Homo-oligomer: A and B are copies of this chain.
């Protein structure tokens, strides 16, 4: 425990840096199950902050939470042709419902699946819940009065991944999935875009992550969607990260599960659908957007601990007064902020500063005997800058203002980074070179087709992150030489 491991600098090895930040920040641990991770308390608490904020936004836009089964009958998956294509290759399959005892040659006892408990139809552990939810919607929807149906689910899902990366891609992950049903195509599209906006606002306002909103190309669309909208963020190494998606599903699932309604004119029609989701991947986005070579940096709005108070003393006599003062301060701050007093006796202040820095606590307050005498706390921001004294009088306001400034500072820095890493290119050669030399978002008046998109991915590992509505009239696509049809953002991506 006590051994101090360093953090690989970003410039040396960005991937190693990411893993180090997570490990030293005590966010996550490996598990004995392939591809699955354990979210440790500090990591899980970030997800709880995200949940709390997003859940409020979902409810404010009229959604209710519900809970559907973890298991999906295998046959359901086949009902929507593209959907099964997309998910069949990565499904955990339950085939038995009981174990029986075994004894090996050495007399060692064990268990094995009981052959007599084999299921008639295997069950899939949900990779996403469209199929089972639309089966249920078929029972719940009959008339236009039952619409719109606006439901969200907080759940775990499983997609068997061969290559995993903490938070970004794991076999089991936590997420929310919204599933809504509407009486018209227009209403469903409106909902799809509304939820994309909710995600984008949340990313900017709460996570301090600026994102680009756009549509996915056909190649990158969700399996079963008519149109997939996405928010794309840019990490510090110039790679893109898909941070959330919102799908217009048309009538695909309603048709697959035969969900119809009687409209106001008395005519029956299939229902229109959307689905949208974000996951614990957002924690990875936060880490990679804001952290530095000293470790984790967290926006105050989601930091599990926003303020840590460290009493600084040399003698037992000093100890009592400064520790008491630290707890008094906590009592004042606690109704407004998430505060911790680090009064551990066996660690020196320097070691505590180091630990909380690595855990991304936005604001540290130090209180020593001299601070006590001058009735102030010495304050250090995780984002750096000069340490300044914050007077005890009005401390709630001082701390609130400081946290607001840190939040704003992180957003401004991330926004400037995206601006300085969004490029245009004049030719394919320039594009290929730039992807290595100065990776980032590449804004391309795109004229290619699916085959061109595949070829570029093959050659450069860059993909269309999203399509924008910006006009491209008369421009020529620098990557294909064809007339531009739409503006695209290309990037290498996680």
Contacts and interface: CB of A to CB of B under 8 A. Distances in A.
Interface of A: 1, 29, 31-33, 36-41, 44-45, 47-48, 64-78, 84, 88-101, 109-113, 117, 122-125, 132, 135-136, 139-140, 142-143, 145-146, 151, 155-156, 158, 160, 172, 174, 346
Contacts of A143: 1
Given A38-B69, A41-B64, A93-B95, A100 B88 contact: yes
Contact of A111 (B74, B98, B113, B142): B74
B45 A64 contact: yes
B95 A90 contact: no
Nearest to A31: B69
Given A48-B65, A67-B44, A95 B97 contact: no
27 contacts: A1-B143, A32-B135, A33-B71, A36-B69, A38-B136, A41-B151, A44-B64, A45-B65, A67-B174, A69-B172, A71-B172, A78-B110, A84-B99, A89-B99, A90-B97, A90-B98, A91-B98, A92-B96, A93-B96, A93-B97, A93-B98, A94-B125, A96-B122, A98-B160, A99-B124, A112-B122, A125-B125
Indicate how many identical chains form the complex.
Answer: 2
A384 B294 CA distance: 63
A46 to B, nearest CB: 11
A414 to B, nearest CB: 27
A91 B95 contact: no
Contacts of A136: 29, 31, 38
Given A38-B68, A38-B136, A346-B145, A78 B111 contact: yes
A160 to B, nearest CB: 4
Contacts of A91: 97-99
Name the residue among A33, A74, A110, A135 with the largest chain B CB count within 10 angstroms: A33
B96 A67 contact: no
A109 B67 contact: no
Contact of A41 (B40, B65, B89, B346): B65
